[in-house]
Structure 1
């Protein structure tokens, strides 16, 4: 069952990446991916996974907004 959850989470992370790339077109896909992966890693080992993609997206968006243009 945990494997299914991981696949769903990975799918959601991909959707988050697409949204952030659309919102921040001047940022490279690699940078967005690194931010998303770093934020996602913060929640490694968290037993409740339901809201992790939401938290990842909010934190990554915050970090991207704080970047100098």
Structure 2
């Protein structure tokens, strides 16, 4: 996966989470996703980074949703 492809996948992650959590501001979702993405910045195998980012971001965002 190229860097451009990875960034496109990350944008799609933001879009999916924005749709899934409409009560959370998109800016907050972007911040969580970019933070999760930065966590994997030094990984050598990039193929699964978008999946791992989405999973980590979703867990953090669920903690923001009032129960």
Do both proteins adopt the same fold according to a TM-score greater than 0.5, normalized to the shorter chain? yes
From the CA coordinates, give the structure whose radius of gyration is larger. 1
Question: Which residue is equivalent to 1:37?
Answer: 34
Question: Which residue is equivalent to 1:51?
Answer: 48
Structure 2 CA distance for aligned equivalents of residues 14 and 44 of structure 1: 16
Structure 1 CA distance for aligned equivalents of residues 38 and 47 of structure 2: 15
Question: Which residue is equivalent to 2:5?
Answer: 8
Q: Which runs of 4+ in 1 moved over 3 A?
A: none
Structure 1 CA distance for aligned equivalents of residues 48 and 27 of structure 2: 24
1:17 aligns with 2:20: no
Q: What is the Cα-based RMSD across aligned positions, in Å?
A: 1.2
Consecutive unaligned residues in structure 1, runs of 5 or more: none
How many Å apart are 1:68 and its aligned residue?
Answer: 4.2
Q: Does the residue aligned with 2:42 lie in a helix, a strand or coil?
A: coil
Consecutive unaligned residues in structure 2, runs of 5 or more: none
Q: Number of matched residues?
A: 66
Could you tell me the TM-score, scaled by structure 2's length?
0.92
